[in-house]
Amino acid sequence: MSIDSDQDEESLTHVGSAAPSSPSDEQEVEVADGIAEFVEGVLDEGEPKTWEELQALAEEGLKNARKRKSYRDEVVFASLVQLYRFAPRQGRLRGSLRVARNLGRGPAFARVLNAHARHFEAMGSLKPGQQGKRPSGSSGSGESALDDEAFSLGVKSFLRTLAPGTVTPTLLQHHVNEHLFPSLKLRKTSISKRQARRWLYRLGYRLKSHQKGVYWDGHERKDVRKHRQEFCDLLKSLEPYMAMYEGPEMKEVPPNLAEGEVEHVFIYQDESTFHDNDFQGQGYYLKHGEQVLKKKTRGRLMHRSGYICARYGNLALPPEMVEANARLPEGERLTKTDSGVTIFPSNKDGGDTYWNTQQMITQLRHAILIARRLFPNAVIHWVFDNSSCHDSRAPGALNAREMNVGPGGRVRHMHDTIIPLGNPHGHGGELQSMQFPAHIPDNHPYKKFEGKPKGMRIILEECGYIKPGTKLVGDCKLCKAKRARKPKLALSPEEMDLADCEDLVNDSEDESRPSDCCLLRILELQEDFQNELCLLQKVVEEAGNQCHFLPKFHPELNPIEYYWGWCKNYFRERSNGNFERGKRLLQEAVDMCPLITIRRFFRRASRYLSIYHLGATGVVAEFAAKRYRGHRGVMQKDIDQAQAEWEVKQTKLTVGQSLH
Ligand SMILES: [Zn+2]
């Protein structure tokens, strides 16, 4: 980052010394540390690195503000554009004074502008207005106990006694309340934990969280790595056919296509949940509404499912195309021009039902039509989270779990199949029906099961895997235990959100079960059962598009994950717990994320892609991603260097530790 904010902090206090420290500073601190955990690492890619990039981003904001006729934002953005024009030569502080002068305003304006600038640089959005925000709790007079020389010294020397990483607001709070206040006989006698947090912030402490995409178990599992490699290789191989986004304004550079070649476009889907109480900073973000923690305090649930692409951001027709669409005859007109869907699920009357496959498919069908309109000639690739497929089998799909052991019963009918060619009992290539024929001769033992499902046992007999009378249970203890196993990994809530628990439960590399322990297992391992398309894939492929699933545990490869992070941040800064306001804010957040920022998210995901493509894994990959922040492509030599640097760093750490 090219901006030295500490220095500005110092000088600013002189400029604004006439005004007492405003509550908005307090709020800024509180908001900043409340969201730090989730947002850190997500936003730093959205965060512009140079004055030039900041100016481009502010210009885009200005354009949007004009479109929305938001006068307040327009003024702030216009000032920021000016500021970033002056800043390269004069610095942020003198730049803002100059902007103030140009506008006939004084130092107070410069100070406010500066605060806006700093927020804008950190968050990529404007500082929220005060309207509708709850009053900030305990900020009384502008005077802070920290301004007291002796007190401040006491706090600082206490913090120095704590080993790095062990500092917490609670520790500071207790020390202050039990030791410092009594000994210094100050007017104030106690502070809240929140106050302690603010002080830590003032003293330069930041709540650091794990970076997104850190190597939890599973990330480097053999099967996951294989899928990741395939996925990254495929995307890399298509890069020459894709538009790229470069420079401070992330301008589009179209692919250099030869005669007859077609552009390839990638669209990413994912879901996210918002709660109207998220501003309280105790948010645990979970996917799929049903797994809500701390239900009581989180407030109403809002569920958003969306698609993004690098050219347009949110997958929706731009205004001029919406108008053109409205003029089309009814048959050709799209009924939906924005692919995003927000629902407000609730068990109460009037609430929406929870997100399900049906809603997802309906949304996808609209999205496909919109995408075709936006990219009429391109090959369109749809990328889904790995877990999206779990419960979206097509009607009639083969699924051993839904089958009975014996014939009959009220079981879903499944389509016919061809016994896989690899069948070791000579049945490969035979047509096989999952149901008995509608008419069976009278003397046949299965007469009473006419048209009914055959059940696992008969299906497997037909394939030659078991003989009539073979003693084998339908579903054995091992398999049951396996499915019931809870994830043992200690994941943070964000990781749980990202890693989708289902994946953790359902498969793991240490496969100790035999492949023929029970009927269910034999059947599930059959190629035709394994290859059953999920409904998403079916719908996408029927539309002539291509469908991909992200490797498990790899949110860092999905640009929309970063986008949700941005939206959540925007939402949390402005939410006040009111449901109606929350509804509006969510839509606003989704619309407000600047296209430049979204393109940076794509660049970030693309950087991980290059890194994995080059074979870097785990820690080194993460290290390289940080090291080459802002680069789109990473070269082999970069990976080698990252590897080397990482090793040096490790050695230093080990040496450092052994000294203690
Ligand atoms: Zn089994």
503 CA from centroid of ligand 1 (Å)? 19
410 CA from centroid of ligand 1 (Å)? 23
401 CA from centroid of ligand 1 (Å)? 12
Identify whether 648 is part of a domain: yes
506 CA from centroid of ligand 1 (Å)? 13
518 CA from centroid of ligand 1 (Å)? 4
Could you give the number of structural domains in the chain? 5
Q: Do 194 and 229 share a structural domain?
A: no
Q: Who's near 107: CB < 8 A, 6+ residues apart?
A: 15, 16, 18, 97, 100
User: Is the distance from CB of 216 to CB of 499 less than 8 angstroms?
Assistant: yes
Domain end call among 532, 555, 572: 532
The CATH number that applies at residue 357 is 3.30.420.10
203 CA from centroid of ligand 1 (Å)? 58
Q: Do 229 and 364 share a structural domain?
A: yes
At 274 the three-state DSSP class reads: strand
Question: CB 391: neighbour CB atoms within 10 A?
Answer: 13
514 CA from centroid of ligand 1 (Å)? 8
230 CA from centroid of ligand 1 (Å)? 30
483 CA from centroid of ligand 1 (Å)? 10
* pLDDT score for 553: 75
Identify whether 82 is part of a domain: yes
516 CA from centroid of ligand 1 (Å)? 7
Q: Do 520 and 416 share a structural domain?
A: yes
Q: Do 631 and 590 share a structural domain?
A: no
Q: Do 324 and 181 share a structural domain?
A: no
475 CA from centroid of ligand 1 (Å)? 5
Structure token digits, residue 263: 């552009």
Q: Where are the beta strands (DSSP E) in 247-319?
A: 251-253, 264-275, 301-309, 313-314
Strand pairing class (379-384; 546-549): parallel
Q: Do 275 and 188 share a structural domain?
A: no
* pLDDT score for 649: 67
Q: Do 356 and 239 share a structural domain?
A: yes
Structure token digits, residue 62: 């200005």
Q: Do 514 and 486 share a structural domain?
A: yes
Identify whether 140 is part of a domain: no
Environment class of 102 (CB within 10 Å of its CB; exposed 0-12, middle 13-18, buried 19+)? exposed
Identify whether 133 is part of a domain: no
418 CA from centroid of ligand 1 (Å)? 24
Strand pairing class (313-314; 301-309): antiparallel
DSSP symbols for 372-394: HHHSTTSEEEEEE-GGGGTT-BP
H or E stretch at 480 = helix 477-484
403 CA from centroid of ligand 1 (Å)? 14
477 CA from centroid of ligand 1 (Å)? 7
* pLDDT score for 586: 92
521 CA from centroid of ligand 1 (Å)? 5
548 CA from centroid of ligand 1 (Å)? 30
Identify whether 207 is part of a domain: no
Q: Give me the torsion for CA of 68, 69, 74, 75, rounded to 10°.
A: -160
419 CA from centroid of ligand 1 (Å)? 21
479 CA from centroid of ligand 1 (Å)? 4
Averages of pLDDT over runs of 10 residues in the chain (660 residues) are 34 31 36 34 56 89 86 88 90 88 84 86 76 42 69 82 68 86 76 82 61 47 83 92 91 93 95 72 32 47 92 95 94 94 80 78 95 96 77 74 89 87 90 91 89 93 90 87 53 41 41 82 87 82 92 84 87 81 90 92 88 76 68 70 72 50
390 CA from centroid of ligand 1 (Å)? 20
* pLDDT score for 48: 61
515 CA from centroid of ligand 1 (Å)? 8
Identify whether 43 is part of a domain: yes
Q: Do 27 and 117 share a structural domain?
A: yes
476 CA from centroid of ligand 1 (Å)? 4
523 CA from centroid of ligand 1 (Å)? 10
512 CA from centroid of ligand 1 (Å)? 11
Identify whether 134 is part of a domain: no
* pLDDT score for 74: 87
520 CA from centroid of ligand 1 (Å)? 7
Identify whether 137 is part of a domain: no
474 CA from centroid of ligand 1 (Å)? 8
Q: Rounded to 5 degrees, what are φ and ψ at 546?
A: -115, 150
399 CA from centroid of ligand 1 (Å)? 15
Q: Do 61 and 81 share a structural domain?
A: yes
Alpha-carbon Rg for the chain in angstroms: 29
48 CA from centroid of ligand 1 (Å)? 53
Instruction: Note every long-range contact of 540-548, with CB atoms under 8 Å and residues 24 or more positions apart, other chains counting.
Output: 540/364, 540/368, 540/382, 543/368, 543/372, 545/368, 545/371, 545/379, 545/380, 545/381, 545/382, 546/379, 546/380, 546/381, 546/382, 547/381, 547/382, 547/384, 548/231, 548/234, 548/381, 548/382, 548/383, 548/384
Q: Do 388 and 250 share a structural domain?
A: yes
Domain end call among 475, 507, 532: 532
Residue 225 to residue 242: CA distance in whole angstroms: 25
Domain range for 630 is 615-660
415 CA from centroid of ligand 1 (Å)? 24
Domain end call among 123, 155, 185: 123
286 CA from centroid of ligand 1 (Å)? 31
504 CA from centroid of ligand 1 (Å)? 18
Q: Do 432 and 350 share a structural domain?
A: no
436 CA from centroid of ligand 1 (Å)? 26
Structure token digits, residue 240: 């020459």
581 CA from centroid of ligand 1 (Å)? 51
